[in-house]
Every structure is written in structure tokens, then in C-alpha cells.
Amino acid sequence: MKKNFTINAGVAKRIRSIRKEMGLSQAKFGKLFDISWVYVSLLENGHRRPSMGLVVMISRESGVEETWLRVGRGSRKAPIPGG
């Protein structure tokens, strides 16, 4: 029997949460970051690990803290620049 496994269920859930809060389909979210909707699905299901570059782009575009996105620690919202 084939076992399903996830690389990191936490980051997968956080990416899905961000996409849904942005009101985007997997296809539109993927287009925003120049990745396919299939890759978005793989990320959201924990079958692929996002690159650091992608984590940075998602955090900047969505306004979430990079550390929170990667490891789930710290503040969810990124600080306002100059604030």
C-alpha cells in the first residue's frame, strides 16, 4: 500500500490560507508567482517544499511575515515599513 506523506503540513496550510484570503484560485495564485496551478496544488498538499525565493515573494505580496510563513512562529502580519 502506497503511503501519502507531506513534507511540511504547516507551511502547506499557511500557503493555502494565504491564497484563500487573497481570494485567488490556484491558477491565479500560480500566475501571480509564475508557477503552475499544479505546483500550487502540490505546495498546498505538502508534496513540494517552496523555495526561499517563492517564500519571499509570497510574504511580500500577501503582507505576511516570512518567518511565520516558513516555520509558523512569530507574528503573522509583516511590520509596516517605516512604521
**DSSP SS3 for 64:** strand
Strand residues in the chain grouped as ranges (E) = none
CA 51 – CA 42 distance, rounded (Å): 13
CB 62 within 8 A of CB 73: no
Residue 67 neighbours by CB under 8 Å, 6+ apart: 73, 74
pTM: 0.85
Q: How is residue 41 annotated by DSSP?
A: H
CA 16 – CA 73 distance, rounded (Å): 17
Q: What is the mean pLDDT of the chain?
A: 89
CB 44 within 8 A of CB 11: no
pLDDT digit of tens for each residue in the chain (83 aa)?
A: 445 555 678 999 999 999 999 999 999 999 999 999 999 999 999 999 999 999 999 999 999 999 999 999 988 887 666 65
Reported as a single tens digit per residue, the pLDDT across 45-61 is 999 999 999 999 999 99
Domains in the chain (CATH in brackets) are 9-68 (1.10.260.40)
